[in-house]
Structure 1
């Protein structure tokens, strides 16, 4: 029994450690990907731990722009600070290395938002956003003539949002 409760605590602390080190809200699929790719916790246990951490207010689950994002709360940070020594150094090193290699990919996924909704006469409104943490850098609303065109605009934004943002800002400011 003691091994099970120690493992439970270690796994929950590991989740808090990841959220703390990424230092920005991420999706459930992002944290799941990090955990599973590094073989740290099985999928079903992870989802249970996430639910329990949200319920006990160690993790915040926020919905914005039709997306859920997870972030560590103050209570979660305090708990992590108190018990960080219960996470094996080997696991912390694995997470640190993974975050260092993939943080830009994680940020890009979280920051770039593209969606479209039906408008008038078979047209669509495409809403494009770029965020840096909680800060909105840019928001564009564009009319598309078809579902296909709206979908293509969203794909291009998702794949090139940083470059497009720079071009827009440079054009406007110069």
Structure 2
């Protein structure tokens, strides 16, 4: 198979042909079974250094143009896509061309990115600059109901970003710890804190 892509930053065993990248994109969309953004698919391939970002983005656009990927709707302002019948056929017939580890890494990364996006939709963090530093406003949502909202001070942007990152990583545990402390349920506090270890 001819190599026809840039290979800067690609791990050994990564993809160096547009043909393989297109197959992997179809495979991911077919495996995930729900509409996803271009960003999720491209990032899931590139975060694992399986292919070059620009080549992957270009291949995604090519698949749209050829009708192998179709726009399904949107998630806010972001367009979401699914694989067409022809794309499903490509995924099913040609997925043996791709190494198992390449498919596994890309799929696992895509699932993790989707889970992170879901957390960010259901929970929110807003960083607001003040005269003294930053207020980090966090909110935990349970569907149409806000379960908990709070604001915490951070002296600088780097600490505010750490708070934001850690909040998004496990908002459920955070909620359990706060609730257990406020209700003075020592057993629940211990259980919630153990899940962080």
Same topology, TM > 0.5? yes
Query: TM-score interval w.r.t. the shorter chain?
Result: 0.5 to 0.7
Tell me the secondary structure at the aligned position of residue 98 of structure 2. helix
Q: Structure 2 unaligned runs (5+)?
A: 5-16, 189-197
TM-score normalised by structure 1 residue count? 0.56
Moved over 6 A (4+): 119-123, 135-139, 168-172
Alignment of 1:115 onto 2:125:
yes
Tell me the secondary structure at the aligned position of residue 47 of structure 1. helix
Alignment of 1:142 onto 2:154:
no
- Distance in 2, matches of 1:87 and 1:49, equals 16
Alignment of 1:126 onto 2:137:
yes
Among candidates 28, 31, 34, match of residue 39 of structure 2: 28
| 1:11 equivalent in structure 2 | 21
Tell me how large the CA RMSD over aligned residues is: 4.6
| 1:37 equivalent in structure 2 | 48
Alignment of 1:58 onto 2:74:
no
Among candidates 153, 156, 160, match of residue 163 of structure 2: 153
TM-score normalised by structure 2 residue count? 0.52
Larger radius of gyration: 2
Among candidates 96, 102, 122, match of residue 89 of structure 1: 96
Report how many residues are paired: 160
Q: CA deviation at 1:15?
A: 0.4
